[in-house]
């Protein structure tokens, strides 16, 4: 092996700190993401974090009315007030947190921005069309 290197006709550049790589063919680099990894990332982003709008209808409880709260913070505060029992003496305590009230069966568009137990909606039918806010996840029927 050493005799082949010593008898080479090309100049040896190792003494200058360079090695002779001119005869080497470039190696093909591995892709950063394989096709399977890319598909897995795409599929998981679609399934785990759906950020799409879909049509649904609202279904109220015994009263047949669904309360639409202004935003997530208003929803959480109003639920805390309701759970404390304070609304039994004064039902108007949650009124500042309400965006609108709609009848059961009202069509809505569910939009991104809800929380774990709530959904961000925009009313798409009835006299309150355009009202937007947050409702309980149990009130949304697909």
- For residue 65, the model assigns a pLDDT of 93
SS3 track for 2-64: HHHHHCCCCCCCHHHCCCCCCCCCCCCCCCCCCHHHHHHHHHHHHHHCCCCCEEEEECCCCCC
- For residue 7, the model assigns a pLDDT of 53
pTM (2 decimals)? 0.62
- Phi, psi angles (nearest 5°) of residue 7: -90, 10
Which tokens hold the place of 98? 């309400």
- Phi, psi angles (nearest 5°) of residue 74: -65, -40
pLDDT at 9 over 80: no
Q: Is 3 exposed, middle or buried (0-12, 13-18, 19+ CB in 10 A)?
A: exposed
Q: Which fold has domain 51-141?
A: SH3 type barrels. (2.30.30)
Each domain of the chain, given as residue ranges in start order, spans 51-141
- In whole angstroms, give the CA distance from residue 137 to residue 140: 6
Which of 36-69 are b and which e, b meaning 16 or more Cβ less than 10 Å from the residue's Cβ? eeeeeeeeeeeeeeeeeeeebbbebeeeeebbbb
pLDDT at 30 over 80: no
Residue 32 pLDDT grade (very low, low, confident, very high; cuts 50, 70, 90): low
Q: Which of 117, 104, 128 is nearest to 56 (CA)?
A: 104
């Amino acid at each position: 092996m050493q005799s082949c290197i010593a008898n080479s006709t090309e100049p040896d550049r190792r003494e200058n700190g360079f090695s002779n790589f001119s005869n080497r063919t470039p190696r093909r680099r591995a892709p950063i993401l394989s096709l399977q990894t890319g598909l897995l990332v795409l599929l998981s982003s679609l399934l785990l974090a759906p950020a799409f709008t879909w049509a649904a209808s609202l279904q109220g409880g015994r009263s047949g009315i669904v309360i639409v709260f202004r935003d997530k913070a208003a929803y959480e505060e109003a639920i805390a007030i309701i759970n404390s029992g304070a609304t039994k003496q004064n039902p108007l305590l949650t009124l500042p947190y309400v965006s609108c009230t709609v009848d059961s069966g009202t069509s809505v568009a569910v939009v991104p921005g809800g929380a774990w137990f709530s959904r961000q909606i925009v009313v798409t039918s009835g006299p309150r069309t355009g009202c937007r806010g947050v409702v309980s996840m149990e009130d949304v029927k697909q």
